[in-house]
Amino acid sequence: MRANNRGQSTDRITIIDIGKEAGVSYATVSRVINNKGNVNPDARERVLRAMTQLGYVANTQARSLAGGRSYVVGLLVQDLGTGYTGEIIRGMDDELAKAQYNLMLFTTHRRKVKESLFVQTLTQGTADGLLLILPRNAEAYLETLRRRKFPYVLVDHQGIDELGPSVGASNWQGGYDATSYLIGLGHKRIGFITGTPELGCAVRRLDGYKAALHDHGLPLDPNLIREGDFYQPTGYKGGVDLLNLPDRPTAIFASNDMMAFGVMEAVREQGLSIPKDMSIIGFDDIPMAANVHPRLTTVRQPLEQMGRVATTMLLDLINNPDQQPEKIELPTRLIVGETCCAPAQARK
């Protein structure tokens, strides 16, 4: 037992110790650990035994300093508030654990100024790859990442970085399906609240909505479309606006669940009942959607699976850097809750 300069006592076991125990040089131990070079099966066996016996744990800093892997991937998110991100992270985390990787968390809200610095740090060996969930203003550093050939995968961010690998959901189809469902119930005037227009996913949901109207021979009324930003207040605001329309819609499709909650609030404030007086549909199916009353009808994104797939892609990219970047789109699915029904006039 010796003390390092941080005052903590350590019994650190190094590959040198393992080498001694197994009767080989530590270089051979390194080879065993990394499955490199030709090692005599016998020696390998001895090394492995020594490792478990002595409880060896590799020092990742030394590893990465010497030019190996750091076994860390960075994760860039905006915030962790809504549970949306949490779901995705769960999938990532799980997949990373399988590969013995660790996760370094960065939130953008704190990094507005020095985004470049954070990319610097990350790419200088701190991490082997980077996952980005719904990043905004990412162009600046994406360019850097590409130039450095630093592996990264975008999650839910189609339409901006056309080059890089990404994982998303079928936003267009989801928008189409939700709208068709409402039309099928008999709705003819359907309000829509958009997400942040800079985000590809927001645009596609809107496009799906428009396409469904068109395919069913319904007119597109620009008055029924309100701009939102994926947060609750703009959902509320959009809801109020739509309700105050002289010719108000009988249903409202919000581009995500949080905004749908806002719409629900607005509807109730007017003393209207959901779904009798107003049908509401959301997008995402965050856990909370099942906990509100009535249960929100929404389009489920396979969030956890998106995290999983993105991670698998990233690890793949780390292992074979010269791969073609893929773009994967996972299917969405309509979850029928209790916030939609046929409009009043159709029920008569």
Partner DNA sequence: GCGGGTTGTGAAAACGCTTGCTCGACAACT
Partner DNA sequence: AGTTGTCGAGCAAGCGTTTTCACAACCCGC
**What are 9's strand-pairing partners?**
3
Query: Contact at 8 Å (CB) between 83 and 60?
Result: no
SS3 at position 154: strand
Q: Is the separation of the CB atoms in 84 and 289 below 8 Å?
A: no
Token digits of residue 125: 């060996």
Q: What are phi and psi of 180, to 5 degrees?
A: -60, -40
Which of positions 66-125 make contact with DNA (CB under 7 A)?
66-68
- Distance between CA atoms of residues 143 and 268, nearest Å: 46
Task: Choose from DNA, its own copies, none: what does 104 bind? Cβ within 5-8 Å by kind.
Answer: its own copies
Two tokens, residue 138: 């990412």
Q: Which two tokens stand for residue 3?
A: 């003390």
Interactions with its own copies, residue window 204-263 (CB under 8 A): 232, 258, 261-262
Window contacting its own copies (CB under 8 A); options: 29-37, 121-129, 275-283, 323-331 = 121-129
Q: How far apart are CA 29 and CA 14, in angstroms?
A: 10
Q: Which stretch binds its own copies (CB under 8 A): 20-28, 117-125, 189-197, 247-255?
A: 117-125
93 is a site residue for its own copies (CB under 8 A) = yes
CB of 108 to its own copies, least distance (A): 11
Q: CA nearest 72: which of 104, 38, 31?
A: 104
Region near DNA per CB under 7 A, out of 56-64, 180-188, 199-207, 291-299 = 56-64
Stretch that binds its own copies, among 24-32, 94-102, 136-144, 178-186 (CB under 8 A): 94-102
Apex CA 281: angle with CA 277 and CA 285, to 5°?
Answer: 140
- Is 57 a residue that touches its own copies (CB under 8 A)? yes
In the complex with its own copies, which residue's Cβ is closer, 78 or 196?
A: 78
- Rounded Cα–Cα distance for residues 64 and 79 (Å): 29
Asked if 54 is part of the footprint of its own copies (rule: CB under 8 A), the reply reads no
- State the amino acid at position 223 in one-letter form: N
Q: How far is the CB of 67 from DNA (least distance, A)?
A: 5
Name which of DNA, its own copies, none residue 120 binds, using a CB cut-off of 5 to 8 Å depending on partner kind.
its own copies
Of the candidates 303, 304, 312, the residue with the CA atom closest to the CA atom of residue 99: 312
265 binds, among DNA, its own copies, none (CB under 5 to 8 A by kind): its own copies
Per CB under 8 A, 75 contacts its own copies: yes
Question: In this structure, what token pair is assigned to residue 276?
Answer: 């009798």
Q: Determine, following the binding rule CB under 8 A, whether residue 107 of this chain makes contact with its own copies.
A: yes
Nearer to its own copies, 149 or 276 (CB): 149
Mapping DSSP to helix (H, G, I), strand (E, B) and coil, where does residue 282 land? strand
Angle between helices 41-54 and 15-22 (to 10 degrees): 120
Collapse the DSSP code of 127 into the 3-class scheme (helix H, G, I; strand E, B; otherwise coil) and give the result: coil
Using the rule CB under 8 A, is 156 a contact of its own copies?
no
Give residues in contact with its own copies (CB under 8 A): 4-10, 12, 55, 57, 59-62, 64-65, 67, 70, 72, 75, 79-83, 85-87, 89-90, 93-94, 97, 102-107, 110-111, 117, 120-121, 123-126, 128, 147-150, 232, 258, 261-262, 264-265, 268, 287-288, 291-293, 321
Give residues in contact with DNA (CB under 7 A): 5, 10, 12, 14-16, 19, 23-28, 30-31, 33-34, 36-43, 56-59, 62-63, 65-68
